[in-house]
Amino acid sequence: MTDSVNWVMSKSSHVKDNVKSDKGCKTACFVNVNSVNLTVDHPELKVSLNNADRCFADGSGLRLAAKTLGINIKDNVNGTDMLPHLCEAAQAQGISIYLLGAKPGVAIATAKNLRKHYPTLRIAGAEHGYFDRSQDNNVVERINQTNTGVLLLAMGSPVQEKWLQDNASKLTCNTALAVGGLFDFYSGQISRAPMWMRELGLEWIWRLMQEPKSKFKRYVIGNPLFLIRTFVFNCASRGF
């Protein structure tokens, strides 16, 4: 988590495939079980994730899948846990944050809540994520005019990753981060799972209980499907 936050805050130009580019901002996404499942129906999401400068491993599903490949993921780096660290670092370094996404009013409520905890944090702007794609250039212009350091983009997958793919080269901020439903938590719209559930990797059960209709496919069907896909992938890559 510390390495990831340092990377987000660092002013270095972005590096992709060992090629340094000064065009646009560097981009990062959080990859979890749902994002991997979504790449099956949305192959363009896989392209966007592979094009991001960083993909952070979010959640116990990815940890488990990585383990079957002999990889030990160092830490669970999800947006909800990262935000307090980011705000602390941004406040200490005088770097501003722009909040873009979620339903009207939610980004502003998030900004207000963050200001309560981080009184000198500079929030460069806050706006909702339900705009027509023909407005992309205007949105980019508004963000650029604030000279923000970090953009948090909370429009859900695969919309946010596609938006970054299309617009990152025009953004003048240092880093843009796709953070999914983050503002819904920090605005107080949805409460987070108790710590013991998070520690056991069971936060998804909490989210399912809170939004059973919209999260049923994602968790009840998606989690076993991910495990089956991991098994099939491993068999195929071992030549079975």
Residues near ligand UDP, by CB under 6 A: 34, 101-103, 129-130, 154-157, 159, 180-181, 183-184
From the CB of 56, what's the least distance to ligand UDP, in Å? Answer: 13
Q: Are 58 and 78 in contact (CB under 8 A)?
A: yes
State in angstroms the smallest separation of the CB of 163 from ligand UDP: 9
CB 159 to ligand UDP: min, Å: 5
For residue 86 the two structure tokens come to: 């980011």
**Of 13 and 46, which has the nearer Cβ to ligand UDP?**
46
Nearer to ligand UDP, 24 or 222 (CB): 222
Residue 170 CB, shortest distance to ligand UDP, in Å, is 19
| Separation of alpha carbons 228 and 161, rounded Å | 25
Rounded to the nearest 5°, which phi and psi values hold at 106? Answer: -75, -40
Distances (CA, A) of 151 to 40, 63, 179: 28, 27, 10
Cβ closer to ligand UDP: 95 or 182? 182
Assign residue 129 a region (left: φ > 0; alpha: ψ between -120 and 50; beta: otherwise): alpha
The separation between the first and the last C-alpha atoms of the chain, rounded to the nearest angstrom, is 36
The nearest distance, CB 103 to ligand UDP, in angstroms, is: 5
Q: Contacts from 202-210 at CB under 8 Å and sequence distance 24+?
A: 203/59, 204/59
State which residue, 1 or 13, has the beta carbon closest to ligand UDP. Answer: 1
* Closer Cβ to ligand UDP, 95 or 158, answer by number: 158
